[in-house]
Amino acid sequence: MKSEKEARILKAAEKVFLKKGFFPTHIDDIAEEAGIAKGTVYLYFRDKASIYVALLDKHLSRAIGLLEAIKKEKTDVIKKMERIFDEGSELFSHFKGMFPLVSVENINLTAEIMKEIRVKIKPKIKRIINSLAEIIREGIKNKELKKIDARLGALIFFSMVRVGFLASAYAPELKKQSEKIKNIFFYGIKPN
């Protein structure tokens, strides 16, 4: 269980990342927001990137909870997936200042942080993909979806939720396009 101070640091970091963005934020900013000494932050976290990984871990856990709740709903698969798309995009759009590391290729991360991402974050993303694949398999079984590779469909769908989030976060005018994005996924680009 996290200590009260660690939780306070994470809450402060999230607030500062949202306000200033990841790159302009310094540990000093986080410490000041948390009302603690800079050295105290280092008792709990190695650096700013490890704080980020802890926050990403927290939000992915929240997303998994949401996904599992939607998965259990007694409704058709298309409605479940539409809800996952909408709520997933909405959930992550609140954290746009925190997500430069979502595109890891844009960052020079240390091997240590990359290892931490692989150890903590990759299993959560894998769990999300597996849950999405289960929903797709349910849709195939119920003849709501055509027969496809469920895992590949889940990867594509996960990528679309990410695109929906990025679109709404960085190009708000594209938020209106989310229905079109969903239609392309569910109905394809081939004319009827």
Say if 51 falls within a structural domain: no
Domain that holds residue 26: 1-45
Q: Give pLDDT, residue 104.
A: 47
User: In CATH, what number is assigned to the domain containing residue 71?
Assistant: 1.10.357.10
Query: Do 86 and 65 meet the contact criterion of CB atoms below 8 Å apart?
Result: no
Q: How many domains does the chain have?
A: 2
Q: Give pLDDT, residue 190.
A: 63
Q: Is the pTM of this model over 0.95?
A: no
Kindly write down the DSSP assignment for every residue of 69-89, as one continuous string. HHHHSSS-HHHHHHHHHHHHH
Query: Do 77 and 136 meet the contact criterion of CB atoms below 8 Å apart?
Result: yes
Same domain, 66 and 139: yes
Say if 159 falls within a structural domain: yes
The per-residue pLDDT string of the chain (192 residues; one tens digit each, 9 = 90 and over) reads 468 999 999 999 999 988 887 788 999 999 999 999 999 999 999 998 889 889 888 888 988 999 999 999 999 999 999 999 888 877 766 666 565 545 444 455 567 677 777 888 889 999 999 999 999 999 999 999 999 999 999 999 988 887 766 666 566 666 667 777 777 888 876 666
Same domain, 73 and 167: yes
Same domain, 85 and 158: yes
Say if 192 falls within a structural domain: no
Q: How many residues are listed for the chain in this entry?
A: 192
Q: Give pLDDT, residue 127.
A: 95
